[in-house]
Chain A
Amino acid sequence: MSDEAATLPEGAGPCTEGPCMEAQQHLWDYLDGELSSGDCAKIKAHVESCPPCEEMFNSEKKIKDAVHRACGCESAPQDLRSRVASMIAALKLEACGGKSTANEKAQSKS
């Protein structure tokens, strides 16, 4: 047991037995959507009825949400987009150049 547990007011922290223990063991499976719907519902029911567990789950979820919010919204710079577009155009020429005999025939007719 960590030292900090001794400073918590009684009842302020999740207990380390039974449903609380099970919920804590599956905290990240739950938050990451890895649980079956049955297990998910079971954990959810406990967390919603157990304030210390709820606080723990909420605090970890906040970190997950913060990462999602802060690290997800990068736009590729326009320069990169242009470089990629040019590169694909060049690769396209290389890939299609010697093989489009249909195009050559069409062009020779016009």
Chain B
Amino acid sequence: MLVTTEFAPGSIGSVSALPSHLMDGEELLVVDVDLETPEERTERFEQDVLPLLDALYAGALRLTRNPDDAADLVQETVERAYKAFHQFKPGTNLKAWLFRIQTNNYINTYRKKQRQPLQSSADDVEDWQMAQAESHTSTGLRSAEVEALDQLPDGDIKAAMASIPDDFRLAVYYADVEGFAYKEIAEIMGTPVGTVMSRLHRGRRLLRDQLTEYARERGFVSKTTTTEGAS
């Protein structure tokens, strides 16, 4: 059941394109994992991982769409991370490493339990090129609709996110909330970068459609808005 064997030493830990904001002023201590005592490792784990609990929980909520399941998922993720911590390369992207564990944990455990998992359709490099083409032949939002988005409550945004397929939602979450690079998202989700881009394009398009619908339901934009939208 443990995923310890899944992470080749330094695999996700050796992501070269680390966004600087994720390094957050933390000291890049050169820790020799082999010389560390179990006590020291546990202390390092507590110091480095516990501050990321909020981020993990937020991510878990997007995965499970349910606070109780999210809390359970985070707890299991932390447990697996602790047991695999000797494999994490200190100084590399811990948050991405943790999200990788959490995403795998979700796929292996929770998604199987869902009666109707919202999985995306097959996505590959060709799909992303099609998706890109689609997103640019459709017109963007009119000005009035764009302004209306600012008025939508957070609950609507979250609901719109919850309505799109898992894989799309996750990719959008990792990009827009956590600011991971495409390469990092690819490692977290265990897919090629092209697939990440496809999921982002499609997810964002679905999101835009859903948000526009909410804006119309709330009366922020006319249901018949056409050219008058430009303000």
B-facing mask of A83-110, CB < 8 A → 1, else 0? 1110110011001100110000000000
Chain B stretch 178-223: residues in CB contact (< 8 A) with chain A = 178-179, 181-182, 197, 200-201, 204, 207-208, 211
A-facing mask of B39-77, CB < 8 A → 1, else 0? 100100110001001101110011000010001001100
Secondary structure class of chain A's binding surface, majority of residues = helix
Point out the residues of chain A lying under 8 angstroms from B182, CB to CB: 32, 34
Is A84 a contact partner of B50 (Cβ separation < 8 A)? yes
The residue of chain B having its C-beta at the shortest distance from the C-beta of A5 within the complex is B139
CB < 8 Å neighbour of B154 from A56, A64, A70, A76: A70
Residue of B58, B143, B176, B208 with most partner-chain A CB within 10 A: B176
B-facing mask of A66-84, CB < 8 A → 1, else 0? 1111111111110111011
Secondary structure class of chain B's binding surface, majority of residues = helix
Q: How many residues of B contact A (CB 8 A)?
A: 60
Is B227 a contact partner of A9 (Cβ separation < 8 A)? yes
Is B181 a contact partner of A34 (Cβ separation < 8 A)? yes
Interface membership of A25, Cβ < 8 A: yes
Point out the residues of chain B lying under 8 angstroms from A9, CB to CB: 227, 230
Point out the residues of chain B lying under 8 angstroms from A49, CB to CB: none
The residue of chain A having its C-beta at the shortest distance from the C-beta of B136 within the complex is A24
Is A96 a contact partner of B74 (Cβ separation < 8 A)? no
Interface membership of B78, Cβ < 8 A: yes
Is A55 a contact partner of B61 (Cβ separation < 8 A)? no
Interface membership of B96, Cβ < 8 A: no
Taken together as a complex, chains A and B put the C-alpha atoms of A77 and B54 apart, in Å, by 9
Is A1 a contact partner of B137 (Cβ separation < 8 A)? yes
The stretch from B25-33, B117-125, B144-152 touching chain A is B144-152
Is B62 a contact partner of A71 (Cβ separation < 8 A)? yes
Closest 10 CB pairs of A and B: A70-B157, A70-B154, A76-B57, A74-B58, A59-B146, A67-B176, A72-B177, A80-B71, A56-B140, A76-B53
Residues of A within 8 A of B (CB): 1-2, 4-5, 7-9, 12-13, 24-25, 27-28, 32-34, 55-56, 58-60, 62-64, 66-77, 79-81, 83-85, 87-88, 91-92, 95-96, 99-100
Residue contacts A-B, CB under 8 angstroms, 19 given: A4-B139, A8-B139, A9-B227, A28-B197, A28-B204, A32-B182, A63-B204, A63-B208, A66-B149, A67-B161, A70-B154, A72-B178, A74-B58, A77-B67, A80-B57, A88-B46, A91-B79, A92-B39, A95-B38
